[in-house]
Amino acid sequence: MGTARFVPFSAHLSSAPLSSAPLAAGLLAGLLAGLLAGCSDGGAASSSASGDGGMRPVVAVTSGPAELLAAAVLGSTRVERIAPEGASLLTWRPGDASLDAMVSARRVLVLGDEAEPWLQRAGLPPSRTLRLDAAVPESRWIEVGSVTHTHGGGESHTHGGVVAEAWTDPELLRSMAARTRRQLAGAMVESGPVAPAEAPAEAPGEALGARIDAYAAEIGALAEALDGRALIATHHGMEYLCRAAGIRLEVTELELDGDAGPPNDDAVRRLAELAAQEGAHAGILVWPGPLDVAFAEKAQQELGLRSLDFDLGAPLAERDTLTRLTQSAARLRAAIAPE
C-alpha cells in the first residue's frame, strides 16, 4: 500500500503577516495548538476533550463505501459528504473548502491510498483519519502484473499494481464494517448519543449484515448462472467479487474513458481471442467503469458480445454502495440466464 505524505494544516490557511497582525498570530497559534493536541491522541478510535472538543460532530466521507459503513453505525445525519456525487475516486481532488471541512470533522473515513490517490498529499490529521484498507489483511489484496501496451500506435505505457475495490468482496466488507463500528462508536461518544430519529432502524450492524448476506447470495447465484463459464470485463475492479464467488474472470483493459481516444491495442486483440472461444464465456462484456457506447456496438456487431455496465459503488451516489452492487449483480445474472 502507498505511504501517505502528510502536509501541515497551516499550509491550507491564509493570514496577514504575523508582524502586522498580532490578533491573527494568536488565532493561528491557537488553531495549531488544537491540532497538535488532536494529533497526540493515542489512536484513531479514542478521543479527548483537548483533541476533539472543538471538532464538528460528524464523520466526513468521500466515497460510497465509507458513507455506507459510517451511516450503518451513526445514521445518515452524522455523515457528511465531502466529494460531489458521482465524482471519480481516481480523479477527484479536494479543494481548500473540502480540506477544511475534513480537518474540522470529528473523524474522516477513507478507503485508502490505492482507491483515493489524493490522500497521499492531503495532510489529514492521522489520529482522526480512519482507513478502511487497514481492515484488509495483506494476504487478501489482489495485485495485477505490470503490462506495457499502446493505444492506436501511440507511445507505450505501463499499468499494474494493487486492485483497490476490496469492498466488493462480502467478507472484506464485513471486516471493514466491524472495524468502522469499533472505531466510530468510541470516537463519536463525546458528541452525544445518537437521537432515535437519526439512528439506524436496527441495532448497529444488524441491518447491514443482512444486506451483505443478500449481496453474497446474489453473486453466488451469478456464479451458478455462469456454470463454469468466464466473465469478460473491461476492468480489474471485478476481481474481488469474482474471487469471492468462485467466478473465472478474464480482464481486457480497454481504457476507454470517454476521451474519444483509441482503446488499448493489446486488449482489443485479447478480447477478439476470448470472444472466439465459443462456450467458454457468457457472451457478455462487463463494464465496471463507464460504458463506451461506440465500442459496445462494435463488440456486438463484430464479436457477438453484449455489453452491460456494472456499478461497483465507488463514488457517492443517490443509491448506496451495497444497493448498487446487489442490483448490478442481479442484472448481470438475469442477462446471462433470463428467467
Instruction: Report the C-alpha gap between 5 and 161 in whole angstroms.
Output: 19
Instruction: Report the C-alpha gap between 243 and 264 in whole angstroms.
Output: 25
Per the CB < 8 A criterion, the answer to whether 192 and 265 are in contact is no
pLDDT confidence bin for 148, thresholds 50/70/90:
very low
What DSSP designation does 4 have?
A: P
Q: Considering the chain, what is the average pLDDT of its residues?
A: 81
What average pLDDT does this structure show over 107-128?
Answer: 95
What average pLDDT does this structure show over 147-169?
Answer: 64
Percent of the chain surpassing pLDDT 90? 65
Provide the pLDDT for residue 196: 41
The HSE-up count of residue 261 (CA atoms within 13 Å, CB side) is: 14
Q: Which residues pair with 285 in a beta bridge?
A: 232, 307
pLDDT confidence bin for 244, thresholds 50/70/90:
very high
What DSSP designation does 206 have?
A: H
Provide the pLDDT for residue 174: 98
Instruction: Report the C-alpha gap between 245 and 254 in whole angstroms.
Output: 24
CA 101, distance to chain mean position in Å, is 19
Instruction: Report the C-alpha gap between 58 and 191 in whole angstroms.
Output: 9
Q: What are the grid coordinates assigned to 15, written together?
A: 493570514
Provide the pLDDT for residue 160: 56
Per the CB < 8 A criterion, the answer to whether 93 and 67 are in contact is no
> Residue 199: is it exposed, middle or buried by C-beta count within 10 angstroms (0-12/13-18/19+)?
middle
Helix or strand run (H / E) with residue 275: helix 265-275
What average pLDDT does this structure show over 52-71?
Answer: 92
Instruction: Report the C-alpha gap between 165 and 313 in whole angstroms.
Output: 9
What DSSP designation does 264 have?
A: B
Does residue 200 have a pLDDT over 70? no
The set of residues, in sequence order, having a beta carbon less than 8 Å from that of 19 and lying 6+ positions away, is none
For cell 468466464, the residue is 230
pLDDT confidence bin for 338, thresholds 50/70/90:
confident
What DSSP designation does 263 have?
A: P
Does residue 128 have a pLDDT over 50? yes
Domains and CATH numbers, the chain: 9-144+163-191 (3.40.50.1980), 206-336 (3.40.50.1980)
Task: Say whether 113 sits in a helix, a strand or coil.
Answer: coil
What average pLDDT does this structure show over 65-94?
Answer: 96
Provide the pLDDT for residue 54: 78
Does residue 80 have a pLDDT over 70? yes
Residue 103 has phi, psi (to 5 degrees) of -65, -30
Instruction: Report the C-alpha gap between 239 and 235 in whole angstroms.
Output: 9
pLDDT confidence bin for 37, thresholds 50/70/90:
very low
Task: Say whether 3 sits in a helix, a strand or coil.
Answer: coil
| pTM to 2 decimal places | 0.78
Q: What are the grid coordinates assigned to 290, written together?
A: 463507464
Give the helix, strand, coil percentages of the chain, each rounded to 5. Answer: 45, 15, 40
Strand 157-162 versus strand 143-149 pairing type: antiparallel
